[in-house]
Amino acid sequence: MVNIGYHTAKFQGKCNRYLYKAALSQIVSIPIKQTRQVPISVYAFSCERDLPEQVASIRTFIRHVGIPDTFTVISDGSYTNSSCNLIRRIHPCVQVVPLQKFLRTDLPQCVLDYAQLHPLGKKLSALMSIPINGTTIYTDSDILFFPGSIDLINLSNGDGKYSLYLPDCSMSLDNRIIYDDFEKLNPVNAGFILFRHEFDWNFAIERLGNLQEHPSYFTEQTIVHLAMHDNHGQPLCSKKYVLNVEDQFIYQDKSASKNIAIRHYVNDVRHKFWFNVGK
């Protein structure tokens, strides 16, 4: 039996994205009604393919959280000059930097080698290069911010000393660098991180250096998972900071509401991202 709701949702998401992409030049010129300044630095890593998602994500952050000190988009190298200029037009706080100019000069060789082999290796190198000066957020481009994300201001002003992570809804880990079953507990999603201090990456990167085969799709997330727990990271509330695919095969976006802070629209539910842009 054909799942009409699912296929309708996929088609609507595709159409909404097409229309949004076609209107990007006009959309970035629309002023965002926000005057609240927030003492947060935000970083995202993305590519030309994800330009519409990146624009939408930035605009929802500014609209619902506030104007950060800076919102830096780290380009994987594929963004064209016109796309970079378009992103900068979203707001004066937004800047675009190429990955090669952003990277730290002391990254381990195994990370640099991973970056040469896989796009997520580039993302890992970007994450490890983010300067942490006060509250710093990393966010993937397929994350939308909702009215409840004003909670991020409270978190940034709080006295917590540990970084915060988005709990994953599945065990999406590279088991080759997991040495004990207990290391799989409390899986971390690498798509959204609130850094409160510089990370010590040594424990996790040693696992990468010991890997005899090529890194895979989930190697980057596993490195982040291991590093987060080694640095005593704490989970964000999964009811407010949402990552699930429970509504994948129905029409509705069951999680979207004014009460949540974010939803990470991973591949299985990416089409639902476009149900909520512009609301």
The reply to whether 1 falls in a domain is no
The reply to whether 26 falls in a domain is no
- Three-state DSSP class for residue 221: helix
pLDDT digits (tens, 9 = 90+) for 243-257: 999 999 999 999 999
CATH of the domain at 253: 3.90.550.10
The reply to whether 3 falls in a domain is no
> Residue 188 carries which DSSP code?
E
The reply to whether 145 falls in a domain is yes
Tokens of 138: 């990393």
The reply to whether 251 falls in a domain is yes
- Percentage helix, strand, coil, to 5, in the chain? 40, 20, 40
Tokens of 236: 């964000």
Q: What is the pLDDT of residue 47?
A: 97
Structural domain tally of the chain? 1
Q: What is the pLDDT of residue 25?
A: 97
The reply to whether 155 falls in a domain is yes
- Kindly give the pairing relationship between strand 234-235 and strand 164-167: parallel
pLDDT digits (tens, 9 = 90+) for 73-123: 999 999 999 999 999 999 999 999 999 999 999 999 999 999 999 999 999
The reply to whether 192 falls in a domain is yes
Q: Distance (Å, rounded) from C-alpha 276 to C-alpha 79? A: 25
Q: What is the pLDDT of residue 66?
A: 98
The parent domain of residue 239 ranges over: 37-273
- Three-state DSSP class for residue 84: helix
- Three-state DSSP class for residue 273: helix
Going across the sheet that includes 262-264, the strands are 143-145, 262-264, 241-242
The reply to whether 149 falls in a domain is yes
Low-confidence ranges of the chain (pLDDT < 70): 279
Q: What is the pLDDT of residue 235?
A: 98
Q: Which of 96, 146, 155 is nearest to 126 (CA)?
A: 96
Q: What is the pLDDT of residue 159?
A: 79
The model's pTM: 0.96
